[in-house]
Amino acid sequence: MIEGLLGLLVFILPAYVANSAPVLFGGGTPMDFGGNAWDGRRALGDGKTWRGFVSGIAFGILAGAAVAYAASEPAYMRLGVLLAFGAMVGDLAGSFAKRRIGMGRGQSAFLLDQLPFLAFALIFASPIYLPPPLDLALLALLTYVLHVCSNFAANRLGLKSVPW
């Protein structure tokens, strides 16, 4: 596949697309159906909906298919599925953790907002491929910066009520 920084971004694209799609396509029934966890706080909160979860996985897989096709690497298709699925599970894990430490839906949480989706995407994909350590560090840094910038843009475009 493609080398260098661009290659790294193309590799992780299904996770990014999966994580972004719910902002546009999410809404409706929350995944925790409004229910609370043992601590009396929402299990996941209203920001995690079934429509967001399913659309994230679907568009992530589509992005993976596009990359597999463009790079003539049909094997990448499987990686895309794992990255998309992992990203959405990681996004839930991040919200679950935020609720457990008492943070409300949409409240800004340093690192917990930006990195669980990436970590889970990489863990899910790791049986097939795990980037070398330096690339992992670069991905974490890039993801953090891109996440902050894109949420700022989404807020300015009126897609998100808060800029994080």
Helix (H, G, I), strand (E, B) or coil at 37: coil
Position among 12, 13, 52, 59 found at the interface with ligand CTP (CB under 6 A): 52
**Encoded amino acid at 97, one letter:** A
Check binding of 41 to ligand CTP (CB under 6 A): no
Q: Is 59 exposed, middle or buried (0-12, 13-18, 19+ CB in 10 A)?
A: buried
Give yes or no for residue 53 binding ligand CTP (CB under 6 A): yes
Is residue 98 within the footprint of ligand CTP (CB under 6 A)? yes
60 binds ligand CTP (CB under 6 A): no
**Of the candidate residues 16, 48, 84, 86, the single one contacting ligand CTP (CB under 6 A):** 48
- Residues 92 and 31 sit within 8 Å (Cβ to Cβ): yes
Task: Check binding of 71 to ligand CTP (CB under 6 A).
Answer: no
Nearest CA to 143 out of 90, 79, 101, 98 is that of 90
Of 139, 135, 122, nearest to 84 by C-alpha is 122
- Angle of the 116-125 helix axis to the 133-156 helix axis, nearest 10: 140
Quick one: which of 105, 140, 146, 148 contacts ligand CTP (CB under 6 A)?
105
Q: Which stretch binds ligand CTP (CB under 6 A): 6-14, 42-50, 58-66, 131-139?
A: 42-50
- By CB under 6 A, name the binding residues for ligand CTP: 22-23, 26-27, 45, 47-49, 52-53, 91, 95, 98, 105-107
